[in-house]
Amino acid sequence: MSSANWVVDVHKLHKKYSLGWFGTKTFHALKGIDLCVKPGEVFGLLGPNGAGKTTLIKILLGIVRGSGGTAQVMGLPAGSRAARKLIGYLPENLSFPSHHTAISALQLFGRLSSVPESLIASRSRELLHMVGLAGRERELVRRYSKGMRQRLGLAQALLHDPQLLVMDEPTDGLDPVGRSEIRNLITQLKQRGKTVFLNSHILQEVELVCDRVAILAGGQVRGVGTPSELTSQFQTQGTTKIRMELIGDFQSISHSIAQVADPFESLQLPTGNWQVSFAAGSQQQLDQLIDQLRQKNVSICKLDRTQLSLEEVFLTAVQS
Ligand code: ATP
């Protein structure tokens, strides 16, 4: 696909924030990142706190300027008036003035986005139906649950019928039902041909809904691909975990394990047995450990080899 067709095209993008009174120091939040988002895909930006996710979103929305490199939205410079019109944005904690109903809130947001007055009412009705708020549209928004407010936020972001929907932590703070409702809505939007760019630190959410994911950490892209491509990429980096249940003296246990695994986790079970877990090394190391434990009269009640959860895999990746 030629870069002219990408919905988001970011190339060697840098962002340095000025720090201190005279801006003599800088903080390098984005260190030359490259990303592209294809039309109609749900793209997830995943990363720990401070990774630079919000900074990238702010550049795409024109809230902050990059310090180098380029960022384009459907071929237009990110932040330009024309590019902004193509984007709908659902911020992390969108708040609505407390006296508003869903209808009046959408009217307000529609006017702010210059949606023609004649279209606001019909688009609002259609969108409230889509997000499952039909029949509740005349209630005060302050009486809505967090999930309902988030769905209203989504309707607000779609009022001007944007090509690209940018969502910041869309399921944060929602219960499992609320999270699944938002995921279903994202899937519906994809079916309607919209491109969705979402920012999250919840890996399981991203995995359930995204076609492709970029992992951002320390201002750098550490990997891009489908969730399964990324998982297999990082799982080859020795991310299998060994969990053992042992009976014996803890000093002997910890001394033996520290020689093959650092760090390791330990927990005394109600039975008095010790449960230890650590990232697996080679089979030879494991054999040596078992020999050592047995020499020290430690009994091995259980030994499991488990894959790290996806969350742990990505944490490993971003810490590397
Ligand atoms: P979170 O998940 O916590 O929201 P994030 O991945 O969105 O994190 P950013 O908010 O983009 O991360 O911040 C990236 C880094 O840039 C952080 O270290 C942050 O402290 C720093 N930063 C963000 N905004 C500014 C600013 N205006 N001035 C100085 N530093 C900033």
Q: What is the pTM of this model?
A: 0.78
**Alpha carbon of 72 to ligand 1 centroid (Å):** 21
**Alpha carbon of 68 to ligand 1 centroid (Å):** 17
> How far is 215 from 33, CA to CA, in rounded Å?
11
**Ligand 1 mutation target, pool 14, 15, 55, 318, most atoms within 8 A of CB:** 55
> How far is 65 from 38, CA to CA, in rounded Å?
23
Residue 79 has a CB neighbour count (10 Å cut-off) of 18
**Alpha carbon of 124 to ligand 1 centroid (Å):** 34
Burial (CB count within 10 angstroms: exposed 0-12, middle 13-18, buried 19+), residue 14: middle
Task: List all residues 6 or more positions away from 83 whose beta carbon is below 8 Å from its beta carbon.
Answer: 62, 72, 73, 74, 76, 77
**Ligand 1 mutation target, pool 24, 33, 49, 315, most atoms within 8 A of CB:** 49
Per-position pLDDT tens, the chain of length 320: 555 689 999 999 999 998 877 767 889 999 999 999 999 999 999 888 888 999 999 999 999 999 999 999 999 999 999 999 999 999 988 888 888 999 999 999 888 888 888 889 999 999 999 999 998 989 999 999 888 999 999 999 999 999 999 999 888 888 888 888 889 999 999 999 999 999 987 777 888 899 999 989 899 998 899 887 877 776 655 567 889 999 999 999 999 998 888 788 899 998 999 999 888 888 888 999 999 999 999 999 999 987 665 566 666 666 66
| Category of 132 on φ-ψ map: left (φ > 0), alpha (ψ -120 to 50) or beta | left
> How far is 229 from 221, CA to CA, in rounded Å?
15
**Ligand 1 mutation target, pool 27, 59, 92, 221, most atoms within 8 A of CB:** 27
For atom 10 of ligand 1, the residue with the nearest CA is: 54
Measured CA distances, 42 to 24, 63, 148, 193, 196 (Å): 39, 22, 22, 10, 5
Q: Locate tokens 């992992």: which residue?
A: 215
Structural domains of the chain, with CATH = 3-233 (3.40.50.300), 238-319 (3.30.70.1150)
